[in-house]
Amino acid sequence: LSRTDRQTARCFSRCFLRLVCGKVSIMASKNTEETNVELQESKDAELKDAELKDAELKDAELKDAEMKDAEMKDAELKDAEMKDAEMKDAEMKDAAGLAPDADATEADVSEADLDQEEQEKQPMTGGGDRAEDAPSAGEEAEKNGSVRLKIPEEAEEATFTGLNKEELLRVAGTPGWVRTRWALLVVFWLGWLGMLVGAVLIILQAPRCRDLPSTNWWNDGPLYQIGNIQVFTDSRDLRGLEQKISSLSQLKVKGLVVGPIHVAPADEAMSLRFEEISPEAGNLDQFRGLVQAAHKKDISVVLDLTPNYQGSSGPWFSNVSVTSVAERLKSALVFWLKEGVDGVQLSGVERVAGLVPSLWADIRAIVQNGTDQRPNKRVLIGVTERSSAEDVSDILSSTGVDLLISRVLRPASTDATEHAQSVQFLYSAHSQTKLAWSLGGRAEGHLASLVGPALVKLHQLLLLTLPGTPVFNYGDEIGLMDEGTKFPRMLWDSDEELNGTLQEERAERLVCRSFFRGVSELRVKERSLLFGDFVLLANSSSSLAYLRVWDQSLRYLAVFNWAEEVAALQLSGAALPRQATVVLSTNSSVLPADGSVDLTDLRLGPGQAALLNFPYTG
C-alpha cells in the first residue's frame, strides 16, 4: 500500500476503536447506573428496616415500662415513682444519643450518593481499576449507608422431651432398676395372693344362704273362690267376671277358683254333663275370654268340677254311681285342660279315692302330669268337710292332692290354743306347700258372717301369714255378709254419692279391702311370709303369737287377741329382740305403722291383731 493508504487505514482504525470504546463506555455506564440504583434501593430498604426495628424496640420498651409501672403500683407507691423517673431519664438519654447518629447517617448517605455520581461521570477506560474500586465502594456504602442494630433473640422456653427409646433401654438395664422391678413384682403378687386368701376366708366364714324351696304358682299368693257367677257381677255371667280381673289383680290374687258352672241337675247322675257350661253362667267363648284375660294378669284359673254340687245326696251321688261318674270325669278333665284351665277342684276326694282308687289314680295323673304343650304344673285341689287335724293329715296323705281345703280352722271354736295346736300339727307332718287355710266357702258362707264384722281384718291377717296357701271366698276382702243366702250379691264401689249409713258402710269396705291388699302385697314379696319357717311363740285361749323366719331375711311376728279385753303378751327369747317395728295393725290409732313396741310388754286391745318385724342380727 502507498503511504496515503496506510494513513487512511490508521485513521479508519482509530475511529472504529473510538466508536467501539464509546459504545462500551455507554453500556458500562448504564450497567453502573442500574447497579447504583439497586444498591440505593437496598440501602433504603435497610434504612427502613432499621427504623422499623427501632420503632418496635421503642414500643416494646414502652410496653415493658407500662407493665412494670402497673406492677409497681401494687407495691409501695414511693418506689414505683422513683423507678418510673429513672426509666424516663434512661429513655431521654437514649433518644439524645440516637439523634447525632441519625444526622451522621444522613450525611454519610449524601456523600455516598455524590461519590457514585462522580464515578458515573468518569469514562470507563480502566475496567480493571473500576473492578478493584467496586468492593471498596461497596464496603464504604455498607459502612456509611446503614445502621446495624443487634436485637437479642428471646430465650427459648426449656421443654422436657423425656428419654428416647435407646436411653430408656439403657437406663432400664441398670442393676438398680432391675432390683426395683423385681421388688415391685414380688410385692404385687404377694398383695394379690393376700386378697385372694382374704376373699376365700370371708366366703368360708360367712353364713351360707339357705336354698330356696321348690314352690308352685299356687304357693305364691291367695286363691279367690267364686262359687256363683251370677251374683258376682251385674252382667251375671262369665263376661262380667272377665271385666273384674284387673280388680282381682290388685289384691295380688294368684288363682281364681271358678264354679262349678257345668250342667248338673240335682241328684241326677245320668243328666250330668261335665263339658257343657250352664246357660245361666255363660258359654264356652266367654270362658275362653276369661282364661285369656286372667293369664294376661298372671292369674291362673281353676275350675270346680264337683259332680253333684247342687244335690243333697253327696258330691259324687250314691256309691253305685261313683265309678261311672269318675270314668266320665276323666274325659271331661282332658277337655277342660285343653281349654287352658290351670287346675281342678273336687269335693269329697276322700270318698272317690277310697271307693275307686284306680280311677282316682288316673284322675290325678291327668291333672298333675305335665305335657309338652303345657309344661307348667296344674293343681289338684281337694275339699273335705273334716275338721280334725289328724283326719285332714290322713286325707292329704292318702289322696295325694296338691292342696286340701278343710274346716280345721272352723270358726265355731274360738279357742286359740286349739287353732295353734292344729296348725303346728299339720306344719310338722307336711310340707307347707301342701297346706291350705280357709274360713268359709260354698257350704259355710262368708268370713264376716262366720266371725263377725269386727274380726274380719284379724282373720285376714291370720290366713295370710300362716305357713301355706290362703283361700278366700269372694267378698271376704271387703267383709261381705251373708244376707239370708250363702251367695249374696257382690258389692262393687262406684262414684255414686251415698248418704248416711250407706256412706259409712262403703268407707268400712274400703278400709277392709285396703288392709287385705296391704297384707297380700307383703306376703308376695317377703320370703319369711312366703315360705319361711313357722315358730310358735305363745298361745292361750284368746291370744296367739308366732314367728315367720327365713334365713337372713327380715323376721315377721304376728300377734292376735280374740278376747274382749286387753291382752298383755310377754315375748322373750334368744330369737327375739327387745324392740320390734309395727308393720300394720287392725287398729292403727293404737298401734300406728312404723311405731316401735316393747316385746316384753306388748299390749293388744280387744279383737286386735298386729304384724311386727325386726331385722336379722346373726
**pLDDT for the residue numbered 446:** 96
Q: What is the reported pLDDT for 411? A: 74
Q: What is the pLDDT at residue 459?
A: 97
Which secondary-structure segment (H or E) carries 258? strand 255-258
618 confidence band (pLDDT: 50, 70, 90): confident
pLDDT at position 61: 72
Which of 14-23, 81-90, 162-171, 197-206 has the least mean pLDDT?
Answer: 14-23
What is the percent of the chain where pLDDT is above 70?
76
Of 558, 533, 530, 546, which is closest to residue 218 (Cα–Cα)?
530
Residue 273 bridge partners (DSSP): 263
Amino acid identity at 357: P
Output the pLDDT for position 51. 73
pLDDT at res. 9: 61
Amino acid, single-letter form, for residue 528: S
Contact 429, 468 (CB under 8 A): no
Which phi and psi (to 5°) does residue 324 adopt? -65, -40
Going by their DSSP bridges, the two strands 262-263 and 255-258 should be labelled as unpaired
- Residue 569 exposure: Cα atoms within 13 Å on the Cβ side: 30
46: pLDDT strictly greater than 90? no
For residue 10, is pLDDT > 60? yes
The Cα 583–Cα 611 span in angstroms is 6
59 versus 539: which is more confidently predicted? 539
pLDDT tier, 167 (very low <50, low <70, confident <90, very high otherwise): confident
pLDDT tier at 273, thresholds 50, 70, 90:
very high
Check: pTM over 0.85? Answer yes or no: no
Per-residue pLDDT reduced to its tens digit, 404-428:
999 999 876 668 899 999 999 999 9
Question: In the prediction, which pLDDT does 249 show?
Answer: 97
- Count CA atoms within 13 Å of residue 545 on its CB side: 20
Please give the Cα distance from 453 to 509 (Å, whole number): 10
Whose grid coordinates read 308366732?
546
Ranking 177-186, 472-481, 491-500 by mean pLDDT, the lowest is 491-500
Higher-pLDDT residue of 247 and 22 is: 247
For the segment 387-395, the average pLDDT, to the nearest whole number, is: 96
Judged against a pLDDT cut of 60, whether residue 139 lies above it is answered with no
* pLDDT band of 133, cuts 50, 70, 90: very low
| Pairing label, strands 469-473, 223-226 | parallel
pLDDT at 426: 98
DSSP string of 71-116? HHHHS-HHHHHHHHHHHHHHHHHHHHHHHHHHHHHHHHHHHHHHHH
More confident of the two residues 448 and 163: 448
- What pLDDT does residue 89 have? 65
**Pseudo-torsion of CA 582, 583, 587, 591, nearest 10°?**
20
Res 304: pLDDT: 98
CB atoms within 10 A of CB 348: 18
Banded model confidence at residue 112, pLDDT cuts 50, 70, 90 = very low
State mean pLDDT over 169-176: 80
pLDDT tens digits, 64-94: 767 766 666 666 666 656 666 666 666 665 5
Determine which of 136-140, 165-169, 310-314 has the lowest per-residue pLDDT on average: 136-140
At residue 265's C-alpha, the angle toward residues 260 and 269, to 5°, is 100
Higher pLDDT, 201 or 256: 256
Q: What is the DSSP letter of 266?
A: T
pLDDT digits (tens, 9 = 90+) for 519-537: 999 999 999 999 999 999 9
Could you tell me which residues come within 8 angstroms of residue 144 by beta carbon, excluding any fewer than 6 positions away? 105, 108, 109, 111, 112
- Report, as an integer, the average pLDDT of 155-167: 69
pLDDT digits (tens, 9 = 90+) for 181-208: 899 999 999 999 999 999 998 888 877 7
The whole-number average pLDDT for the span 341-367 is 96
Question: Higher confidence at residue 554 or residue 22?
Answer: 554
Region of residue 526 (left: phi > 0; alpha: psi -120 to 50; beta: else): beta
Average pLDDT of 541-557?
96
Calculate the average pLDDT of the chain: 84
CB 275 within 8 A of CB 336: yes
Q: Between 465 and 106, whose confidence is greater?
A: 465
Residue 107: the pLDDT is: 42
Q: Tens digits of per-residue pLDDT, 279-299?
A: 999 999 999 999 999 999 999
Mean pLDDT of 201-218: 88
Give the model's confidence band at 516: pLDDT under 50 very low, under 70 low, under 90 confident, else very high: very high
R_g (Cα) of the chain, nearest Å: 57
Stretch 55-65: mean pLDDT: 72
Confidence of residue 456 (pLDDT cuts 50, 70, 90): very high
Q: Calculate what percentage of the chain has a pLDDT beyond 90.
A: 62
